[in-house]
């Protein structure tokens, strides 16, 4: 595996066991001021330098220089209930897919983000954002019923996003940015070597589900993309924003570590021993992280009340499969995904009881990309979500202000219904349902200079 120690450290800082709580495994938690409105102002609010992520054209609304640092504590809960999971050899052995429910697969994560903006007072503005727009983390007990599908899954990203904006006229601003994105992934699962030996020997050797090993795959990659934005201000109180983030392709390289029970190492498998067939090896894989587009509106009625709304489309249909290629010649590991494009709808309100304070609230409906129970996996057991969010901001003085935000996500029941055939023959027919929810607590400090 390629060693990029500096950026491994950056990934650990910027996406610490980060779970994913927007569509697929996207991370929308890029602004604490935005969280309070369930990100309903997205491409139009431009309250602070976090607009670099949501719409770089909003940089022209900021004055002077500004630095923003935010941190989001994401607390998921995802508990699986087995509903009759089956094993490929069950007709012969009479044994279903064995194991417990895996405990809470959710992993509490910390997602920081950093932004800097400078208005040059000549119609141009510059910005730099460092954030983690994609991530996931799930972790299950070693002996759980879905162990052959997933044990630990972790993806971390670091996105470095310089941006520029220009004011075309009194109403229209345009913005653009480029992204250099580092991705690091670790995937692990148990391997049923007992069933492999039993099948390879015609039933003479091996104990199905009794001689488990483990595979740990690690890989990383750099990818590059861009983002564009436009902001149209009808007047000082009303504006609309349109923003687009491009697809980023990652060509990952890394290694596979197989842990094999000594009792099966020398047993036959496709003309060789199991130990030789599952030797540690280099791996390759690729993934297209999706492009997305947002349309937002903002309107202030008076000095106290403002409303905002947003609709966001994400091109998750790019994600057809997760395929890992082994340099050793071992057959590719394939998980068919066939995800759908998603839509996210949100609305919010701000109330300013004084010049120093702002109170925020918002709701959102966030579609899941996973098309059905047959394509849902324990690595990403997502489902449609309904967001309810509140937040507040306080201006301490002309230089300092802070924001706090909280959101609760009501997650629909997520069913898994797999049969032990094809690519899941060895993994097993996992059948059951997830009970899930998410809490997000966030804080942000803003410094003007």
Who's near 333: CB < 8 A, 6+ residues apart? Answer: 323, 324, 326
What average pLDDT does this structure show over 73-95?
A: 96
What average pLDDT does this structure show over 288-301?
A: 97
What is the tens place of the pLDDT at every residue in 139-160?
A: 999 999 999 999 999 999 999 9
Share of the chain above pLDDT 70, in %: 95
Q: What's the pLDDT at 7? A: 41
Who's near 23: CB < 8 A, 6+ residues apart? Answer: 314, 316, 342, 344, 366, 367, 368, 369, 382
What is the tens place of the pLDDT at every residue in 223-240?
A: 999 999 999 999 999 999
Q: What's the pLDDT at 326? A: 96
What is the tens place of the pLDDT at every residue in 243-260?
A: 999 999 999 999 999 999
Q: What's the pLDDT at 27? A: 92
Who's near 163: CB < 8 A, 6+ residues apart? Answer: 52, 56, 59, 126, 127, 128, 129, 175, 176, 177, 227
Q: Is the pLDDT assigned to residue 22 strictly greater than 80?
A: no
Share of the chain above pLDDT 90, in %: 91
Q: Is the pLDDT assigned to residue 271 strictly greater than 80?
A: no
Residue 357: CB atoms within 10 Å: 12
Calculate the alpha carbon distances from 308 to 241, 301, 342, 373 in Å: 11, 11, 21, 34
Q: What's the pLDDT at 2? A: 41
CA angle 438, 444, 445 (to 5 degrees): 170
Residue 361: CB atoms within 10 Å: 18
Q: What's the pLDDT at 269? A: 85
Identify the structural domains of the chain with CATH numbers, from first to last: 5-448 (2.40.160.60)
* Chain mean pLDDT for the chain: 93
What is the tens place of the pLDDT at every residue in 174-207?
A: 999 999 999 999 999 999 999 999 999 988 999 9
What average pLDDT does this structure show over 5-9?
A: 41
Q: Is the pLDDT assigned to residue 263 strictly greater than 50?
A: yes
Q: What's the pLDDT at 12? A: 42
CA distance 147 to 100: 10
Reported confidence tier of residue 57, pLDDT bands at 50, 70, 90 = very high
Q: What's the pLDDT at 20? A: 52
Reported confidence tier of residue 21, pLDDT bands at 50, 70, 90 = low
What is the tens place of the pLDDT at every residue in 313-322?
A: 999 999 999 9
């Amino acid at each position: 595996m390629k060693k990029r120690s500096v950026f491994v450290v950056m990934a650990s800082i910027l996406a610490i066991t980060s779970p994913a709580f927007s569509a697929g495994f996207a991370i929308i938690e890029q602004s604490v001021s935005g969280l309070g409105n369930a990100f309903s102002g997205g491409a139009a609010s431009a309250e602070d330098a976090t607009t670099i992520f949501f719409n770089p054209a909003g940089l022209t609304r900021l004055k002077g220089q500004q630095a923003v640092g935010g941190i989001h504590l994401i607390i998921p809960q995802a508990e699986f209930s087995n509903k009759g999971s089956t094993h490929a050899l069950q007709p012969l052995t009479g044994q279903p897919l064995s194991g417990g429910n895996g405990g809470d697969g959710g992993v509490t994560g910390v997602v920081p983000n950093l932004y800097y903006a400078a208005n040059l007072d000549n119609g141009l503005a510059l910005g730099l954002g460092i954030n983690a727009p994609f991530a996931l983390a799930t972790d299950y007990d070693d002996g759980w019923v879905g162990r052959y599908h997933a044990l630990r899954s972790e993806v971390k990203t670091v996105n470095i996003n310089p941006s520029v904006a220009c004011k075309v006229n009194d109403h229209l601003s345009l913005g653009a940015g480029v992204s250099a994105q580092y991705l690091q992934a670790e995937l692990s699962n148990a391997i049923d070597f007992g069933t492999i030996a039993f099948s390879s020997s015609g039933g003479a050797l091996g104990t199905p589900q009794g001689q488990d090993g483990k595979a740990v795959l690690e890989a990383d990659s750099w990818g590059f993309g861009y983002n564009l934005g436009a902001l149209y201000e009808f007047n000082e109180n009303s504006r609309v924003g349109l923003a687009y983030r491009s697809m980023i392709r990652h060509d990952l390289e890394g290694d596979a570590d197989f842990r094999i029970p000594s009792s099966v190492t020398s047993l036959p498998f496709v003309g060789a021993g199991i130990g030789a067939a599952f030797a540690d090896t280099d791996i390759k894989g690729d993934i297209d992280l999706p492009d997305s587009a947002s349309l937002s509106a903002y309107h202030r009625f008076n000095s106290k009340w403002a409303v905002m709304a947003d609709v966001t489309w994400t091109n998750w249909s790019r994600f057809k499969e997760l395929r890992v290629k082994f340099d050793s010649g071992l057959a590719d590991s394939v998980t068919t995904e066939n995800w759908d494009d998603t839509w996210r709808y949100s609305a919010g309100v701000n109330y300013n009881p004084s010049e120093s304070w702002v109170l925020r609230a918002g709701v959102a409906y966030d579609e899941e990309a996973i098309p059905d129970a047959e394509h849902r996996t324990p690595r990403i057991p997502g489902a449609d979500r309904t967001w309810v969010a509140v937040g507040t901001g306080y201006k301490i003085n002309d230089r300092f202000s802070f924001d706090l935000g909280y959101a609760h996500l009501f997650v629909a029941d997520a069913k898994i219904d797999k049969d032990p055939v094809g690519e899941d023959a060895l993994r097993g027919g996992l059948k059951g349902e997830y009970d899930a929810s998410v809490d997000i607590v966030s804080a942000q400090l803003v410094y003007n200079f």
